[in-house]
A and B are shown apart, each in its own frame.
Chain A
Amino acid sequence: MVSSLIGCNMYDVVVIGAGPAGANAAIDAHDHGLRVLLIDEGRDAGGQVWRPKSGSILKASVTSIERKGNQLREHLQKSEVKRKFETRVWHIEKSDNGGWIVGLSGPDDEKQVTSRTVIIATGAQERIIPVNGWTLPGVLGLAGSTALMKENLLPPHGRSIVAGTGPLVFYVASEIQRLGGNVTAISTLNSKLDWCKALPSMILKPRLLFQGLCWVLSLYLKRIPIFWRTGIITIEGENAVEGVTITKVDKDWAPKKDHQRYIPCESVCYGQGLLPEISASRLTGADHYYDEKLGGWVPTIDDLGRTSEKGIYACGDNAGILGVTVAPISGKRAAQAVIEDLKGENPGAGQSNLKMMQKFGRAMTVLNIPRSGLIKFIDDETEICRCEGITKRDIDHEIAHGAQSHNAVKSGTRCGMGPCGGRFCMDTVAMLTAHHTSKTREEIGLPTARPPLRPVILDTLSGDLDYDDLPIPGVSPL
């Protein structure tokens, strides 16, 4: 890392991510006398699930989800935890003294901090299966549309189709209606039977079950059609969304091509669940493993969130998609581990009904596990890598010529080398590789972890360097 950077501060704990897991971890660590720095790229704490409203909204009704976010933000305010918002972590590396150096890119001058430990609470990102037309303006990620609505109270334009898997489909549709938008249809890959199977675990959290039923009921009352066991196979439009074609699927979620229906619309909100955001934990060198019931690749952690790297802890959805009911406890437990390791104290964080909440979270994640037939939704011409414009045909060609890993596909095609850092194509590349080579996801592995974790302005990397100070050697004689 750049050595010329000044203003280093030694913390006991740097917490990356101020969602329900990270913020609770920071508060607990601070309460036990540790020097804590909480970092988040957002404007305030809450993460995506408890995302705060934009500063432009002076007054509006408060939903129960938002109330929880407000409580967290108030709690954080009172606790006086040191925090940096609108600040991104772009690098993490071991320092010579056994601690960790965290590279920052934010509004202030502090470009890096050092810390004895790092709690990673980076949450999740969306899994979106590429289909023809998914790059058109008017297509939003399912979680993306919740971000837009929570922050701005703006529903998607015109007639919306909400599609995908899991509970988010129903939440998004009911929010669009609540905010005055127009949901024209819901298409979910799940069957009613999938939901019946989830019911025993959902009963463990009756309030959440009731909330979910209210979403669905509100949609039934508005007579919004719900197409079960269907998925979007094409999004049509010239320069923006004009409609979608949905198709019935079989039990493996493979499209049944003779059962299709065209629905005109102006907006599409779609996604197939969440993936743990592990790029930060991978950069530290910590071990990871694949568990589809946890959303995919997750860091190997002990009961409290210690990873295989000394001083690195993980909590919240990036340690396994278990949702917002588990995240605060998981954060508190990571703080407990840090307190034990640094101070030798046992603060005894709450274990109360953690198992029950995990069971609920897992039941929701299971609804999103991609099935083998999904791959048939992707057309040869579909752009899989949105940044570089790499199609399924390009990737299939690379795999047919011997590529059996992300790195091989990447070096052959540039797939995953664009500004998003492969976050929206890598899972699909692994699905395709698994499909063509019969390798397991574990065998396929992951691409090499590299900084920057987020696009970073070159000034941040170059520090105080002035190009005019660079010595320019004279022209050498031929």
Chain B
Amino acid sequence: MNKGAVSQVQRSEKISFQFDGIDMDAYEGETIAAALFRAEVSHLRDAPNSKNPRGLFCVMGVCQECVVSVDGKIVEACRTNVSDGLIVNRVQYV
């Protein structure tokens, strides 16, 4: 397997954040979606009606599938940067 292109990548400092109460690593300056993707957390929420699992889909802020809860606000994980100590939760629909 070709690891050439990735082995040369130099990333920023590691920070940590929480997703649904679990500590996760991230690189400063990347999105919540990227950090969760690297950690292989693909199930980001359950759809409000059909309750089936959803994850990152369009990766450009259109589909709204990757929304997560930060400080009680619903944000798109693919467009929101992670920061050290950030508390991120799965969106709960009532």
**A residues at B contact (CB < 8 Å):** 41, 48, 54-61, 86, 125-126, 135-141, 143-145, 147-148, 151-154, 157, 177-180, 182, 239-240, 383, 386-389, 418-420, 423-424, 454-455, 457
Contact = CB atoms under 8 A, between A and B. Distances in A.
A228 to B, nearest CB: 25
B42 A157 contact: yes
30 contacts: A54-B27, A54-B31, A55-B30, A55-B81, A56-B30, A57-B11, A57-B12, A61-B8, A125-B58, A126-B58, A137-B44, A140-B59, A143-B60, A144-B60, A147-B60, A152-B37, A152-B38, A157-B40, A180-B1, A180-B3, A182-B1, A386-B57, A386-B63, A387-B47, A389-B50, A420-B62, A420-B63, A420-B64, A424-B63, A455-B64
A25 B42 CA distance: 38
B50 A383 contact: yes
B61 to A, nearest CB: 6
Interface string B1-17: 11111111111100000
B10 A60 contact: yes
Contact of B5 (A180, A240, A389): A180
Interface of B: 1-12, 26-31, 33-34, 37-38, 40, 42-44, 47-50, 52-65, 67, 73, 78-79, 81
Contacts of B26: 56
Contacts of A86: 79
A454 B79 CA distance: 13
B16 to A, nearest CB: 14
A139 B66 CA distance: 12
Given A59-B8, A157-B42, A152 B60 contact: no
B56 A140 contact: yes
A135 B67 CA distance: 14
Contact of A137 (B7, B31, B50, B53): B53
Given A54-B30, A419-B64, A457 B42 contact: no
Nearest to B50: A389
A41 B79 contact: yes
Given A144-B57, A177-B2, A455-B64, A389 B8 contact: no
Contact of B30 (A60, A61, A143, A152): A152
B6 A180 contact: yes
A61 B3 CA distance: 13
Contacts of A418: 64
A455 B8 CA distance: 38
Contact of B10 (A59, A152, A157): A59
A347 B9 CA distance: 43
Contacts of B49: 388-389
B53 A136 contact: yes
A154 B64 CA distance: 21
Contacts of B3: 180
A62 to B, nearest CB: 11
Given A239-B53, A383-B50, A386-B47, A60 B62 contact: no
Nearest to A418: B64
A232 to B, nearest CB: 15
A450 to B, nearest CB: 16
A4 B63 CA distance: 31
Contacts of A135: 47, 50, 52-54
Nearest to B5: A178
A179 B58 contact: no
B29 A386 contact: no
A389 B56 CA distance: 17
Nearest to B49: A389
A151 B34 contact: yes
Given A54-B30, A54-B34, A139 B64 contact: no
B58 A144 contact: yes
Contacts of B7: 180
Nearest to B3: A180
B48 to A, nearest CB: 8
Given A55-B12, A56-B30, A60-B9, A457 B73 contact: yes
A179 B6 contact: yes
B10 A147 contact: no
Contacts of B58: 125-126, 141, 143-144, 147, 424
B56 A60 contact: no
B79 to A, nearest CB: 7
B37 to A, nearest CB: 6
A383 B37 CA distance: 24
Contacts of B42: 137-138, 157, 240
Given A55-B30, A136-B53, A141 B59 contact: yes
B61 A148 contact: no
Nearest to A139: B57
Nearest to B45: A137
Nearest to B73: A457
Nearest to B76: A455
Contacts of A56: 11-12, 26-30, 34
B33 to A, nearest CB: 8
A395 to B, nearest CB: 15
